[in-house]
Amino acid sequence: MADRLTRIYTRRGDDGTTGLAGPTRLPKDAARIEAIGAVDELNAQLGVLLAEPLPEDIATLISELQHRLFDLGGELAMPDYQAIRATQVTALEEAIDRYNGTLAPLKEFILPGGSRAAALCHVARTVCRRAERRLVNLNRDEPLAPSLLHFVNRLSDLLFVLCRVLNRAAGRQDAYWKKPDRPNPD
């Protein structure tokens, strides 16, 4: 592979635009760039999670997810390219089922937190939801492949399940939401 990033600054973005793969330039606050940035932020948050001691299977899964998010960003940067396919959505669903099958059923909402790794995974989950909102916004004007939207939606579900798995691995209980006592309306 040739040295592709030998020069880090180009000054081309000084005018408030950024380039997609190819000659297209967009304003840095365009919906597509917002979506790319949100996916990049999610990938970075997963990198922070990977800096924690994790069970090996989860570390491997998170690393694989980072690669798929890079593919997803490439799909956003090259509008005629499709990197995320239905098989990858199915793989996320299988991982959700596998990990969730080892957990007690939820009877109440849980609060973000617990172990440090679980708390970081909760942050990644919320960043994933933000990325999903950016993709939905982009999709409104520039239709995306359905599998791309499905992938990000399933990914946030998987991250939620992994939060619970990470708490269990650390010997921590999930913190359940306590419903407020509400007076009876008279």
CATH class (in words) of the domain with range 29-176: mainly alpha
For residues 159 and 40, give the distance between their C-alpha atoms in angstroms, rounded to a whole number.
16
pLDDT, the chain, mean: 90
State residue 13's pLDDT score. 60
DSSP codes of every residue in the chain: -----S----SGGGGSEEE-SSS-EEETTSHHHHHHHHHHHHHHHHHHHHTS---HHHHHHHHHHHHHHHHHHHHHHSTT-----HHHHHHHHHHHHHHHTTSPPPSS-EES-SSHHHHHHHHHHHHHHHHHHHHHHHHHHS---HHHHHHHHHHHHHHHHHHHHHHHHTT-PPEEPPPPP-PPP-
The rounded percent of the chain whose pLDDT value lies above 90 is 71
Domain coordinates in residue numbering, the chain = 29-176
Name the more confident of 13 and 50.
50
Rounded mean pLDDT of 51-59? 97
Pick from 98, 90, 105, 81: nearest CA to 155: 90
| Mean pLDDT of all residues in 24-41 | 85
Of the candidate ranges 49-53, 103-107, 137-141, the one whose mean pLDDT is the lowest: 103-107
Could you read off the pLDDT of 126-185 as tens digits, one per residue?
A: 999 999 999 999 999 999 999 999 999 999 999 999 999 999 999 999 988 888 876 666
pLDDT score for 1? 47
Q: What angle, rounded to 10 degrees, do the helices at 146-169 and 116-141 form?
A: 170
